Structures are given as C-alpha cells and as structure tokens.
Copies of this chain bind each other. A is one copy, B any other.
Amino acid sequence: MKITIKKIAELANVSRGTVDRVLHDRPNVTPETKEKVLRIIQELEYTPNLAAKALSSNTKCITISVVLAPDFNPFVAEIKKGVADAYEELRHFGLTLEVEVISTLNAEEQVKLLSRLEKKGVDGIAIVPIDSELVRDCINRLIRKGIKIVTFNSDIFNTERLCFVGQDNEKAGRVAFSLLENIVPAGSQIAVIISSLKLKCHQSRLTGFMAMLGKSGACIQTVSIDENQDKDELSYDIVKSYCKLYPQLKGIYITGGGVSGLGRALSEVGKARKIKVVSHDLVDPVISLMKEGIINFSIGQNPYVQGSLPVKILFNYIFKNEKPDREIYNTGVDIKTYEAL
C-alpha cells in the first residue's frame, strides 16, 4: 500500500497544499491542522517518493563540490572512483557534482577555493581540510551561511562540519601491533617511526599501538619512538641509528611517509627483509617496497568509501533532510600484502 501526499490529504480532510506546508514546515497552518496532519503522516509512516521529488524539483538541482588535494596519489584514483559511483547513483535525483582539485596543500589556496564555491552557491562541500586557523574560520563561515560540509580522510576540529569520514586510527595502530607481533619472534625488539607527534591521526595510531603493548601477553617490546616528519632523509638517519643501537631489532612500524628512506637504510645495512616492516597506505613507494619484500604489510584505509560516502551523506542531508546518524564514519582498516593488492 502506497502512501502519497494526496492520500494523507484525504485522510486529514485537508488539501494537498496543506500537507505540503506541514511537510516542509512552512508557515500559515493552524496548530491543530498541523498536528492532525503530522499524526497521520507518522501513523502511516509516510516517506516521500524520491523519484517524484527529484522529478518535480529538477530545475533547481543540488550542487555538491568535492575538494581534494592530488598529492597522495594512487589513493586519489580510488577516491575519485567512489565519488563518481556515488554521483552516478544520485544524479538521477537531481544532483550536480563538481570535483575541484587543488594542487597544493596550501591553506590560503584552499580558503580561496572555498570562497569561490561560496559565491557560486553550492549546497554542500566534501573536503579534505588543511588543519589551519584560516581554513577553520572559512569553513565555519560557510556553514553559518547554510552550506553543508563533510570532511573526509583528515578531520578539522572546532568546526560545525556535519561529520567526518575516515580511518579509525587507533584501531589501525592496534592492527599494526598485531601484525608485527605475528611476524617477529616472541620477545623481539621493535621501533616506531611516527610522522609527527603533533598530528592527531598519527598520535592515534601510536595510542592504539601502545595500548596493545600494555595488554597481558604482549610478546614484543618497543625500544624507540621517533618522528620523521614524513621525510625520507630523516627516516634514513633514524633507521641507520636504530640498526647501530639495537642490533637485535626485529621490526619497525612506520605510521606515515618517508618509507623510501627507510627502505634504503635497511638495504644498506643488510637488514632488508630481516627487520620486518609495517607501514600505512598504498602509495607508490610502499607498493614497490612491498613487492621487494622490504615492507611486509601496509594498512590501507579504503579511499573508495572516503570518496563515495561524503557525497551520499551530503545528498541525504540536503535532499532528503536525513541527518547523518553519527559524527564519525570509520572507513576500513585494510590489511594488505603485496599479493592482496
């Protein structure tokens, strides 16, 4: 049995127009009428027919922009695929989509782009925000203007963004630990190279990793934690010094970039494939090193979903008025070996 506006109107002894006004919370309806209609709507569990909705309001399409930096590369392809699929699914409902790619990780440029989108009058934005005051203020301004914003891949705090779609970094850290624990002998010494202790996502990875260490039965020991700022040169130096300081070192967990430097150092000191390595993401240097067997596992974060879900969330909110049911949507913690790519 199909519930339509017309049917509700009949049951409530009012016209279609009145039901429409109630549904859209428009003025000029007496409280009693409104309540009566609302009750019937709830009783019959009315849900609007999206096809009809799209058809009738297709003159004024929804516009959603996806903003992403093209730097983290093999990633971006998957993100774009996710965005494209979501669009294909939703365009029939009157969604217009624009993908804006900024070529730098520059906060000013991102703000400039956001301001342009604001002027253009987009309804929603999915963005990988750069964590800076400039961007934060800009995002909050757009949100106050009624533009809906979802962050993905990397979050930005103190904003009223709808929600965030990205990895559960603590879980990723726990998984990294369990992988290392599996591939090194019991009691082994392992070390951690973290991008920056200041960055939330890397902090979380470390937190998750260390939490596992604290558990009973943990059979490896962490001997050192160093920052490499995602830099190959720093990784290189750090790994070289590790090999000197800890000749018994059996594993390294590297939370971010700079894997090439690590690979070079390990090869030079003849420890490649002897010291086991767990890294993150499936960027090109990681894939190469996995192929060579120098990196044993890398933890992926499902860029496809990071592309598709924000678009869907924005659409559901703007078009269907369905609020996202949580503030953080975690994409997978995907364990990858070279063969599993």
Contacts and interface: CB of A to CB of B under 8 A. Distances in A.
Interface stretch (A68-76, A239-247, A330-338): A330-338
B340 A178 contact: yes
A51 B179 CA distance: 48
A234 interface: no
Interface residues of A, number: 34
A107 to B, nearest CB: 34
Contacts of A333: 340
Interface stretch (A6-14, A35-43, A88-96, A125-133): A88-96
Contacts of A94: 51
A178 B338 CA distance: 8
A318 interface: no
Contact of A49 (B92, B212, B297, B335): B92
A15 interface: no
Interface string A270-296: 000000100000000000000001001
A174 interface: yes
Interface string A287-320: 0000001001100000000000000000000000
Contact of A51 (B50, B174, B276): B50
A224 interface: no
Given A182-B182, A182-B296, A334-B334, A174 B339 contact: yes
A52 B55 contact: yes
A231 interface: no
Nearest to A274: B186
Nearest to A186: B273
A192 interface: no
A296 B92 CA distance: 46
Copies held by the complex: 2
Nearest to A57: B51
A119 to B, nearest CB: 23
A297 B335 CA distance: 10
A212 B339 contact: yes
Q: Which of A49, A51, A93, A177 has the largest count of B CB atoms less than 10 A from its CB?
A: A51
A328 interface: no
A53 to B, nearest CB: 8
A175 interface: yes
A16 interface: no
Given A182-B182, A182-B296, A92 B340 contact: no
A292 to B, nearest CB: 10
Contacts of A338: 178
A8 to B, nearest CB: 18
Interface string A59-95: 0000000000000000000000000000001001110
A180 to B, nearest CB: 11
A213 interface: no
A54 interface: yes
13 contacts: A52-B55, A171-B340, A175-B337, A175-B340, A177-B339, A178-B337, A179-B337, A182-B296, A212-B339, A217-B293, A334-B334, A335-B335, A335-B337
